[in-house]
Amino acid sequence: MITHLRIQNFRSFLDAEVDLQPFSLIVGANGSGKSNLLKFFAAISGAAYKSDSHGNPSGAVEVGSPAVLHQPGWVIHQNGDQRPLGFRLTLDASDINGSVVNAQGGIMLTKALPWQGKGLPIFNINPDTVSAVETTVPKAHVKPTGEGTAQVLDALKNGDREDLFDIVEENFRRYVPEVEKLSLRTVENGKKQTQVREKGLKLPVPANELSEGTRLILCILTILHQENPPPVILLEDIDRGMHPRLFEYVAPLMRDIAERNKINILATTHNPYLVDCFQDQKDAVIIVEKKDGASTLTTLAKKLEGLDYETVDPEDMPLGTLWYSGLIGGTPKKLSGEVRH
């Protein structure tokens, strides 16, 4: 699991670092760099590690898509400087350094990344896509929109990885107690849809009739337990389409999934109600802000230092309200200009 991150010269980041928790919630104004943080992981995920016979790094490896590194591996700062991308990840208590060594986006790593060139998608899950009827295929993976969820579940169930399907079902039952059984129904030849048998109901419920939050949970569990799951799950707008009441439930769920599986989940949001759920996990909220044109990363816990937050009743100023107020940063600039005659 990644516990610390430093990014230099990637998109809006010039030099920013922050501690990561198993589940980190990323907040900030539009355009502050939240998505760029996810894109950083996606960009470096294609980097492989080359070593010589002694295990020392032996050369640069081009990442899959240099374009994602922005100006092939280089950031052009507003002052016109070109600076090479660099990063440091603290992973399982040891550091992995990476740096761009040529203008084509070649990255030299000091140690192998655990995902070794597999790529990390940025998930922007659409609940409707998760519940769609899909054509079954023998090898499948969940795509960034959640498409492929039924395909993966079917491939696990009917391939030779029913053990993984059982884990998804077991966890799904744990997190959604009404669920008794997870299965797939054949809609027509070669096409299937996920369905759920709920306690007290005689007929199974097709996935499109489940709540959006439930579908999101099913999708995330499927991502996690598909064959070759990503070790870092990147979720854009995690609260999209989700009722605020579910946040109290989803936030600990994500934390639990990440901790049990020793992975990182990074999720962006603009929703103060979701931030409210981190009263006891203030170091798991990362505030992204632009300062002098560059994105910075600061944990909420760090932001509260010097604010004497303990001098007020948290019920009078929940964390989401505090974030909204601007007292800890991560809010938009003025929306309207001054009206001067």
Query: Which residue type is seen at 182?
Result: L
Given the complex with another protein, which of 66 and 320 has the nearer CB atom?
A: 320
Closest to another protein by CB, 73 or 329:
329
Q: Rounded to an integer, what distance in angstroms lies between the CA atom of residue 249 and that of residue 81?
A: 46
CA distance 81 to 83: 6
Q: Least separation, in Å, of the C-beta of 250 and another protein? A: 22
What residues contact 160, with CB distance under 8 A and at least 6 apart? none
Distance CA 194, CA 127 (A): 12
Q: What is the rounded CA–CA span in Å between residue 194 and residue 152?
A: 10
Helix axes 247-261, 212-225, angle to 10 degrees: 10
Nearer to another protein, 32 or 214 (CB): 32
- Residues within window 293-322 making contact with another protein, judged by CB under 8 A: 306-309, 311-313, 316-317, 321-322
DSSP per-residue codes, 161-179: -HHHHHHHHHHHHHHSTTE
DSSP state of 90: E
Which listed range, 31-39, 196-204, 212-220, 325-333, lies at the site for another protein (CB under 8 A)?
325-333
245-304 binders of another protein (CB under 8 A): 272
Q: Residues 147 to 186: which contact another protein by CB under 8 A?
A: none
Q: Do strands 285-291 and 23-28 pair parallel, antiparallel, or not at all (unpaired)?
A: parallel
* Three-class DSSP category at 99: strand
Question: Is 324 an interacting residue with respect to another protein (CB under 8 A)?
Answer: yes
User: Among residues 201 and 312, whose Cβ is nearest to another protein?
Assistant: 312
Smallest gap, in angstroms, from Cβ of residue 281 to another protein? Answer: 20
Number of residues that bind another protein (CB under 8 A): 25
CA distance 24 to 5: 12
Q: Which is nearer to another protein, 93 or 335 (by Cβ)?
A: 335
Q: Does 30 bind another protein (CB under 8 A)?
A: no
CA distance linking residue 201 with residue 178, whole number of Å: 10
Instruction: Using CB under 8 A, pick the residue from 82, 116, 186, 325 that binds another protein.
Output: 325
Nearest approach in angstroms of CB 30 to another protein is 16
End-to-end CA distance of the chain: 57
Q: Which stretch binds another protein (CB under 8 A): 68-76, 170-178, 212-220, 323-331?
A: 323-331
Task: For the CB of residue 212, give the shortest distance to another protein in the complex, in Å.
Answer: 25
Give whichever of 201 and 307 is closer to another protein, judged by the CB atom. Answer: 307
Percent helix, strand, coil in the chain, to 5, is 30, 30, 45
Instruction: Please report how close the Cβ of residue 27 comes to another protein at its closest, in angstroms.
Output: 15
Chain contacts with another protein (rule: CB under 8 A): 272, 306-309, 311-313, 316-317, 321-322, 324-327, 331, 333-336, 338-341
